[in-house]
Amino acid sequence: MTKKEKVQFVIETLQALYPSPPIALQHKDPYTLLIAVLLSAQSTDVRVNIITPLLFAKADNPYDMVKLSVEEIREIIKPVGLSPMKSKGIYGLSNILIDEHGGNVPQNFEDLEKLPAVGHKTASVVMSQAFGIPAFPVDTHIHRLMYRWNLSNGKNVVQTEKDAKRLFPKELWNTLHLQIIYYGRQYSPARGWRIDNDIITKTIGRKSVLKNI
């Protein structure tokens, strides 16, 4: 297979498996999505979805969030982990949204990445899923699969994102990154991986990966 054929195989397989992939994190608007994605760092979507209703019942917008103290936010979000950093980030970014953006989540990478506790991946998710602006957020699943599929060298997530954007059509980025995440969780996990269940890697995977199975 040529690389172009491999890319087409990935697209067609994922489209067949996940024609309309939902956003796993529960939210109702850009602000609640931003908070949910921030909370998901080094946690699971399942755990975040248990905690966000508790948090959003008290504050689902920046104006109500700053009425809470950092300690109150931390107590609510403690089960998702990294609560000291995340609570300060949520409180801090809520103040900035009020002071600098009229309470709204900005629709550009520069302003999003200036917010406390918001990195490039979080900003990319918000840009793509809240505003429909093409982006390709790379999480551990996408980083792992792009390497297994021999579509990236796997050195770092920055390079993986560049490779993904170069190989896949821009109009597919927002859907494709969700499809790859779902596929990674279901068919190509980091642990307990069985090649017989992983049709994409079995078909186009790099030889070094296949030999180590």
Active site residue 139: yes
Evaluate whether 3-21+136-211 and 30-130 have a shared fold: no
Q: Which of 6, 60, 86, 121 is catalytic?
A: 121
137 contacts: CB under 8 Å, gap ≥ 6: 121, 122, 124, 125, 128, 177
**Band of residue 208 on the pLDDT scale cut at 50, 70, 90:** confident
CB–CB of 77/40 below 8 Å?
A: no
Above 80 in pLDDT, residue 105? yes
Q: Which CATH architecture has domain 30-130?
A: Orthogonal Bundle (1.10)
CB–CB of 176/168 below 8 Å?
A: yes
pLDDT at residue 207, as a whole number: 80
pLDDT-above-90 percentage for the chain: 93
CATH class as words, domain 3-21+136-211: mainly alpha
pLDDT at residue 211, as a whole number: 67
Above 70 in pLDDT, residue 77? yes
Q: Which of 45, 78, 111, 139 is catalytic?
A: 139
Domain boundaries, given as residue ranges, for the chain:
3-21+136-211, 30-130
**Band of residue 213 on the pLDDT scale cut at 50, 70, 90:** low
**Band of residue 212 on the pLDDT scale cut at 50, 70, 90:** low
CB–CB of 180/137 below 8 Å?
A: no
What distance lies between CA 187 and its chain's CA centroid? 18
- Per the prediction, the chain carries an average pLDDT of 95
Rounded Cα distance between 122 and 120, Å, is: 6
Above 80 in pLDDT, residue 202? yes
Active site residue 163: no
CB–CB of 180/14 below 8 Å?
A: yes
Its pTM stands at: 0.91
| Percent helix / strand / coil, the chain, rounded to 5 | 65, 0, 35
